[in-house]
Structure formats: structure tokens, C-alpha cells
Chain A
């Protein structure tokens, strides 16, 4: 396997090394065309703003290749977007990650202080975009939103300064990257287009991760409305037994399985658990009301028939026994 190594900087100063190692031809300080021995394709570089640069790679490999990225002193984060329709390997901190194709994870963020290697698949069109961002610029975002919560499944922080992240590209960004696939790098408009795409991708990334208002809810409005309707029904019937999923699903106009799935999406729990929780909240209110003579009375009021079951559910939720909350109806009160 041929191994080439390179480093990144925000300016094109890193390009001659990659061109030399790969035996490719450098055109201006923008394009490196790879030699046939490696594959058909090229690498396109552009400085978007003083803080942001972009590397675009589109290559069909003829021979195995490992591209090793050395760490460098430049304070950068590297956003790697992979839109290849197959799987490539990216090695970060001695872990291999599969990257590419839509169903898999296709976005990696790597600190320039961590080395990584990229192994594009053989005899496939590899299509990747890397955005290099100055840490200072990101610091502006991070200082505004100190709690960074990533949705990605594998995410790790190495020390305070260095981290990497691995996750999914959002749909609108996929559309942007797809539109790049059909463009030729030799078009007059390509560079402006690439710059535009780069900035929008970053915009999408930040708004996805920092927009707290955004609901992460995959239901349509109509579905949410239907679920809310059944929730409302349950809330107004807390004194009765659980109305059954069949009944609730038909109320929502969905199949049982669809209803259960949608309910979970909406409420993060099952209909039955939701109902029990609300029932227990009501139980607590009743227990504290001082209107009942015994626990059994409250239990019957809520249509339970076994005190032990009622108590165990109560304990599950509040971590203490119903008896602890119970205020007995006082006889004195009655005399008043």
C-alpha cells in the first residue's frame, strides 16, 4: 500500500508536500491532480475567509492508498464530510472509524493536534470535503454556548484542548454536498460555489448543535396533534383503569405499533407508563389532601385493586412509600 503524508494549514503552503509525495501535478495553488498510478481525481483547495479554508477531494483509486495527516502547529479543527457511496476508513487515535454513505456516520471533526489517517476504498469514487477552521473562530461560538452537547454516538474529548467527534450530516447539508457532485472543478464558477457551500455547511452545523429551540421531534404536526389528543384523554380519565393501547391507537387514527412508536417519540415513554406516572402524581395529591381515611380508600379511588402493587409503583416513582405522604382525614375537622 502506498502511504503519503501531509499536514494542513489555512494557506496553500501545505500543498507542495502532498503533490510531491503523491507524484501529482499542482496547478496554481488550488488544484493537485493525482497521477494515474494512484487514481483518477484531484484535490481542490480554497481559502474561504482568513479563518476558514476548504479542501475538496474527488478521486477514484486504482491502487490502495493511505493518506496520513501529521499534526502541525496550526490551531485548527478539521471538519470531514464524507459523501462517498461506500465506506472509507478514517483512523483517529488508533481507532478505525467507518465513514461515508448516507446510512452510516459521515461527519468527523478532528483536532489538528491529533494525527489521523484516511484510507479511501479501492475502485470507488471517493468524495469528501474537509473544512479547516481556525480555533479562534470556533472559540467565539464555544464561549457563547459553553455546554457543547453532541448528538453523535461516538464522541470523545481528549484533554481540554483536543477533541474529536463523529456523527451525521444534516439533510440540508447533504443536499449542498450533493449539488457539488455535479459541478466540474474547472468551471469558472466552481470556486465561488465551493466557498458558498463551505460557509453554509458550517452555518448548518452550528445551528444544528447550538439551536436549543429546535425540537428534535420526527413527528409531523398531524401526528403530534393526534398523540396530544390521546394524552389529554388519559389526563382527564386518571381515576379509571388504563384505557388500553388498542383504544388509544384508534383514537389517534393509527395502528397500534405506529401509535406506540409515535407516542415514544413525542413523550419519551410508553402510553402505559405515562398514564401510571400521571396517576401517581394524582395519588400524591390525594394522599396529601387529608380527605381520605386510609390508603386503601385512595387506592380504590384510582381504580387499583391491590395495595401492594399501588405502593410499589408509588415507590418506584417517588422513592418513598405512600404512607410517608399520607395525611389522614381528621375527625376533628369533621366536627368543625
Chain B
């Protein structure tokens, strides 16, 4: 196991230190790390004054323990973590699994020291955003928000912001889209900055609508609902399984299942399923391997016109029009 102590900040002064700790180097906007520790890409970008994006798409070859001790705690870190494998974040009085299917969005105050453990063989795709506190505060004051919520997101013992949550489906798709773009260069920088803004927008929307904080949901219930989400995502090509069937799988009554699912994901099971199905259809269209009718068949839409109308309803243009200007 390799142990590294490092810091982040809402500036780029952490980059060189992190590279040194890994025994790697900084090349342009990439952090290059020896291949016996991990393979893949680490890329950093200053998006705006006081907003830093750190893009990670790597596979770990060694077990890693990263200790984050920030010398300048004047920022909040938003960690969008889509790790496949095992990764945990722990602090003085908490420990959470932060992989794709668990708490994949953590918001942690820079004032707090935390430990990040990731196992060998884990594949991480993550986007970390570091925002200076005065920017968050001035924004909050200007828009008259955050304040009613602030008691919920502040850990009373430490008086710092710590929040473990699941990102919205929208945010997940923003990250999926970003991952398709080749890393590096001015075009990627546009996409990366754009994605950061859209993630912030989603986060603000979530705060404004006061959706529940997942951290407060019973662990067992959360794990069950997520397992159903995983099941649905793995079976997007099939028909929607009935609510009855899903509730059975979850070992809950239908009404409890429906309300809990909606509470946690923000959508009803059916809407969640159909939206992801349509997004899959869009990906398939983009891949240009199958025709529109083949895709409609593959995804078990009753017929082409039903597929086209659903697609148009969701995306605002028909599959044919979409393919035309790809």
C-alpha cells in the first residue's frame, strides 16, 4: 500500500506537491504518475477565479491511502466520484463508501482532514471541483439561499460542511458526456468548464428544491433502492418490470417502494427507467452502428413511431433529425 499526504486548494498550488508525492511530474495541465501506481489521466484546470476542476480517469495498480491535510482551508471540495471498485472517505467520526453506486457525491469542507482509501484494481472516473468559500458565500447572500439549509450541512461538532450524497441523474449524464471528449487542448477546456458550470447549476437546483439529503436516509433502505437502480440500469433493453416485481425484489410494499424510490432518486421508477432508456438510445444513435428501427427493436419499444415520439418528447427533436446533424 502506498500512503501519500497532500493538500488541495482553490488555486493551483497543490498540483506540483501532489505530483512530487506520487513520484510523478506535471506536464502542461496533466499530472503524470508512474504506471506501477496507476494508469490513466489526471488533468487540472482553473475554470474561473477561485474555481478549480480536477479530472481523474485512472485505474489503480496499487492500494492507495491519500491523506488530505489542507494548509489553506478556504475552500469547499465537491467530489463527483464514479469509481468502480472500492473507495472510501473517512474522517474523525465518519466513513462512507464513495463509489459510483454508493455515495458518489461528497461535499467536504477544506478545513477538514480526510482520508481516502482506494483498492488495487479499482477504476476511478471522478471530477473534483474546488470552490473558494467567499465565492459560495457571496453567491448565497446574493441569492438569499443556502442559509435555511446551512444547519443541515454543517457538522455540529466541527462546524464544517460535510455532506455525502448521490448526484442527480442529470449530473451523471453530464459526466458521461464529458468522458467522451478527448482530454487536453482548448476544446476540452471549453467542455470541462462548461460541465463544471452545469454541475454547479444542478447542485443549486437541488438545494433550491430542498430535496432530502441522502445522508439522512436509513442505510439499509438506501442500499436496497440503489440495488434496484442498478438492476434497472442493467436491464434498459428490456420492458419495464412492473412495480410489483420491483417491490418484491426490494422486499417492500409497493407504496413504500414507490415513495422511497422517488425520494432518493428524484424520479418515479418508470420515469427513471424510460429516461435512461432514451439516453441509451441516444448513445446508440451517436455510435451509428444501428439504424433507428434497429434501435427501437433492440430497446423493445412497441414500434418506431412510439420510439420517435418518446425521443422527441424528451429531447425536443426526432431521432431522424438528431442523426442528420450529428
B191 at the A interface (CB under 8 A): yes
B223 at the A interface (CB under 8 A): no
**Do A49 and B321 have beta carbons less than 8 Å apart?**
no
Q: Give the segment of A3-11, A63-71, A218-226 that binds chain B.
A: A218-226
* Contacting residues of chain B (274-326) with chain A, CB-CB under 8 angstroms: 282, 287-291, 294, 315-317, 321-326
> Within the complex, what minimum Cβ distance (angstroms) separates A187 from chain B?
7
With contacts A140-B186, A189-B202 taken as known, whether A102 is within 8 angstroms of B321 at the C-beta atoms is yes
> Within the complex, what minimum Cβ distance (angstroms) separates A180 from chain B?
10
User: What residues of A have a CB within 8 angstroms of the CB of B326 in the complex?
Assistant: 170-172, 218
Could you give 17 example pairs across A and B, Cβ below 8 Å? A102-B317, A144-B186, A174-B316, A174-B322, A174-B325, A178-B315, A179-B316, A187-B208, A189-B202, A189-B208, A190-B201, A192-B197, A196-B199, A200-B194, A200-B195, A218-B324, A218-B326
In the bound assembly, the distance between CA atoms of A221 and B284 in angstroms comes to 11
Q: A170-B326, A175-B316, A188-B205 are in contact. List 5 more A-B contacts (CB 8 A).
A: A181-B316, A189-B204, A206-B187, A210-B187, A220-B289
**Do B187 and A207 have beta carbons less than 8 Å apart?**
yes
User: What residues of A have a CB within 8 angstroms of the CB of B230 in the complex?
Assistant: none
Give me the 6 closest cross-chain CB pairs, A-B, nearest first: A199-B194, A178-B316, A196-B198, A196-B197, A192-B201, A193-B201
**Do A193 and B317 have beta carbons less than 8 Å apart?**
no
**Do B205 and A199 have beta carbons less than 8 Å apart?**
no
**Do B193 and A171 have beta carbons less than 8 Å apart?**
no
**Do B317 and A174 have beta carbons less than 8 Å apart?**
yes
**Do B323 and A218 have beta carbons less than 8 Å apart?**
yes
A195 at the B interface (CB under 8 A): yes
In the bound assembly, the distance between CA atoms of A172 and B287 in angstroms comes to 13
User: What residues of A have a CB within 8 angstroms of the CB of B203 in the complex?
Assistant: 189
In the bound assembly, the distance between CA atoms of A175 and B201 in angstroms comes to 17
Partner of B186, one of A102, A141, A188: A141
> Within the complex, what minimum Cβ distance (angstroms) separates A216 from chain B?
9
In the bound assembly, the distance between CA atoms of A171 and B318 in angstroms comes to 10
A197 at the B interface (CB under 8 A): yes
User: What residues of B have a CB within 8 angstroms of the CB of A38 in the complex?
Assistant: none
Binding site for A on B (CB under 8 A): 48, 143, 145, 181, 186-188, 190-191, 193-205, 207-208, 282, 287-291, 294, 315-317, 321-326
**Do A196 and B195 have beta carbons less than 8 Å apart?**
yes
**Do A49 and B193 have beta carbons less than 8 Å apart?**
yes
**Do B197 and A168 have beta carbons less than 8 Å apart?**
no
**Do B187 and A168 have beta carbons less than 8 Å apart?**
no
**Do B315 and A49 have beta carbons less than 8 Å apart?**
no
Nearest residue (CB) in B for A198 is B194
**Do B190 and A199 have beta carbons less than 8 Å apart?**
yes
Partner of A193, one of B197, B322, B324: B197
In the bound assembly, the distance between CA atoms of A172 and B324 in angstroms comes to 11
Nearest residue (CB) in B for A210 is B187
In the bound assembly, the distance between CA atoms of A196 and B174 in angstroms comes to 10
* Contacting residues of chain A (192-217) with chain B, CB-CB under 8 angstroms: 192-193, 195-200, 202-203, 206-207, 210, 217
User: What residues of A have a CB within 8 angstroms of the CB of B204 in the complex?
Assistant: 188-189, 192
User: What residues of B have a CB within 8 angstroms of the CB of A102 in the complex?
Assistant: 317, 321
Name, among A141, A187, A203, A207, the residue most crowded by chain B CB atoms within 10 Å (CB to CB): A203
In the bound assembly, the distance between CA atoms of A190 and B208 in angstroms comes to 12
In the bound assembly, the distance between CA atoms of A168 and B326 in angstroms comes to 10
User: What residues of A have a CB within 8 angstroms of the CB of B315 in the complex?
Assistant: 175, 178
> Within the complex, what minimum Cβ distance (angstroms) separates B112 from chain A?
25
A169 at the B interface (CB under 8 A): yes
> Within the complex, what minimum Cβ distance (angstroms) separates A211 from chain B?
8
> Within the complex, what minimum Cβ distance (angstroms) separates B230 from chain A?
26
In the bound assembly, the distance between CA atoms of A200 and B180 in angstroms comes to 13
In the bound assembly, the distance between CA atoms of A22 and B282 in angstroms comes to 42
Nearest residue (CB) in B for A191 is B201
0 or 1 for each of A150-183: is its CB under 8 Å from B? (1 = yes) = 0000000000000000001111101100110100
**Do A189 and B205 have beta carbons less than 8 Å apart?**
yes
User: What residues of A have a CB within 8 angstroms of the CB of B195 in the complex?
Assistant: 196, 200
In the bound assembly, the distance between CA atoms of A202 and B205 in angstroms comes to 24
Name, among A141, A192, A193, A218, the residue most crowded by chain B CB atoms within 10 Å (CB to CB): A192
Nearest residue (CB) in B for A224 is B288
With contacts A199-B193, A221-B288 taken as known, whether A187 is within 8 angstroms of B325 at the C-beta atoms is no
**Do A202 and B190 have beta carbons less than 8 Å apart?**
yes
User: What residues of B have a CB within 8 angstroms of the CB of A170 in the complex?
Assistant: 325-326
User: What residues of A have a CB within 8 angstroms of the CB of B200 in the complex?
Assistant: 189, 192, 196
With contacts A193-B198, A199-B194 taken as known, whether A171 is within 8 angstroms of B186 at the C-beta atoms is no
